[in-house]
């Protein structure tokens, strides 16, 4: 499965946020989007998630034009963890991860079923978060919160997971450990897209690096 951008542009109030971006993002790979502030990284993720619609060009979700899909349709395949997402007050890690199984079309009172609970447990285990499952999210360290949010994203069950500046605030050992976790998740068939400011950091870990500057994309770099 792939997400494909074909000459995608996004213009807001006369300002070009993205200009003629073409790229293909495959499941089973870790793709890093690198660039400075205002390069268009977050705009790109918001288009991939269905939150924004491209001003021009085509965005294809597994070969289907996203213009023919609702945001809910795209959300079945793509989920996003925004930059600086705030921990929900009072919830434990396991409770927050269980929210990843919520679907708007289901009744609000619906209890998680066995499949939901199994996905929550496996997501916690995959992110090495079992030991913190009963702790309040807001009391975790930065690295622990990153793993908790990744478990939330995995519990969503989507084929693609978009992470906006998720490495911010982590020290070097924590960043290396998080990249190892992301690569392991990608190897299981998920498509992971991570934005970052640091080309040197991501170059040793990503399968593909997309470099953005001023809303425009340089040639993709494939480090491995």
pLDDT one-digit tens code per residue, 137-185 = 999 988 888 889 999 999 988 999 999 988 877 888 888 888 898 999 9
CATH of the domain at 164: 3.40.50.300
121 phi/psi in degrees, rounded to 5: -65, -45
Is 153 in the same domain as 139?
Answer: yes
Q: Are residues 31 and 101 in the same domain?
A: no
Split into its structural domains, the chain has a count of 2
For residue 167, what pLDDT is reported? 81
For 196, other C-beta atoms within 10 Å of its C-beta total 23
Same domain, 115 and 168: no
Which carries the bigger pLDDT value, residue 46 or residue 142? Answer: 46
Q: What's the rounded mean pLDDT across residues 88-112?
A: 75
79: tokens are: 């989920």
Q: Between β-strands 2-12 and 15-26, what pairing exists: parallel, antiparallel or unpaired?
A: antiparallel
Query: What is the predicted pLDDT for the residue at 214?
Result: 87
Query: Do 164 and 53 share a structural domain?
Result: yes
Per the CB < 8 A criterion, the answer to whether 143 and 93 are in contact is no
Model pLDDT, residue 66: 94
Residues 131 and 178 in one domain: no
pLDDT of residue 104: 54
pLDDT at site 110: 57
The answer on 133 and 105 residing in a single domain is yes
Answer for the pair 149, 99: CB distance below 8 angstroms, yes or no.
no
Q: Which of 157, 185, 200 delimits the end of a domain?
A: 157
Better-scored residue on pLDDT, 215 or 113: 215
Distance CA 148, CA 124 (A): 8
pLDDT at 221 over 80: no
Residue 35, Cβ neighbours under 10 Å: how many?
Answer: 22
Mean pLDDT of 205-215: 91
Cα–Cα distances in angstroms (integers) from residue 70 to residues 43, 74, 192, in the given order: 18, 6, 22
Which of 138, 157, 176 marks a domain boundary?
Answer: 157
For residue 161 the two structure tokens come to: 């997971």
Determine which helix (DSSP H) or strand (DSSP E) holds 25, and give its type and residue range.
Answer: strand 15-26
- Separation between Cα atoms, residue 4 and residue 207, nearest integer Å: 16
Same domain, 24 and 43: yes
The pTM of the full predicted model, rounded to 2 decimals, is 0.88
| Alpha-carbon span 118 to 36, nearest angstrom | 39
Using an 8 Å Cβ cutoff, are 222 and 207 in contact? yes
Note whether 63 and 115 are same-domain residues: no
Distance CA 2, CA 63 (A): 8
Determine what percent of the chain is predicted with pLDDT higher than 90: 51
- Pair 164, 150: CB distance under 8 Å: no
Residue 100: strand, helix, or coil: coil
Picking from 136, 157, 178, the residue at the C-terminal end of a domain is 157
Range of the domain at 98: 85-157
Cα 36 to chain centroid distance, Å, stands at: 18
Pair (90, 153) in one structural domain: yes
Same domain, 189 and 96: no
Does the pLDDT at position 106 exceed 80? no
Residue 68 and residue 2 share a domain: yes
pLDDT of residue 87: 80
Residues 71 and 134 in one domain: no
């Amino acid at each position: 499965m792939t997400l494909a951008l074909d000459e995608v542009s996004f213009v807001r109030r006369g300002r070009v946020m993205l200009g003629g971006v073409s790229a293909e993002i495959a499941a089973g790979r870790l793709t890093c989007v690198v660039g400075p502030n205002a390069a268009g990284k977050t705009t790109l993720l918001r288009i991939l998630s269905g939150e924004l619609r491209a001003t021009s060009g085509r965005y294809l979700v597994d070969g289907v034009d996203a213009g023919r899909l609702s945001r809910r349709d795209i959300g079945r395949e793509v989920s996003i963890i925004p930059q600086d997402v705030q921990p929900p007050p009072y919830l434990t890690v396991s409770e927050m991860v269980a929210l990843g199984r919520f679907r708007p079309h289901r009744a609000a009172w619906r209890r998680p079923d066995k499949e939901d609970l199994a996905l929550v447990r496996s997501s916690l285990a995959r992110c090495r978060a079992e030991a913190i499952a009963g702790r309040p999210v807001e009391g975790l360290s930065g690295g622990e919160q990153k793993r908790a949010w990744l478990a939330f994203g995995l519990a969503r069950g989507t084929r693609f997971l978009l992470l906006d500046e998720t490495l911010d605030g982590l020290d070097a050992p924590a960043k290396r450990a998080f990249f190892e976790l992301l690569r392991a998740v990608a190897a299981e068939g998920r498509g992971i897209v991570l934005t970052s400011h640091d080309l040197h950091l991501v170059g040793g870990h990503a399968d593909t690096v997309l470099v953005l500057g001023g809303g425009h994309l340089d040639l993709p770099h494939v480090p491995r």
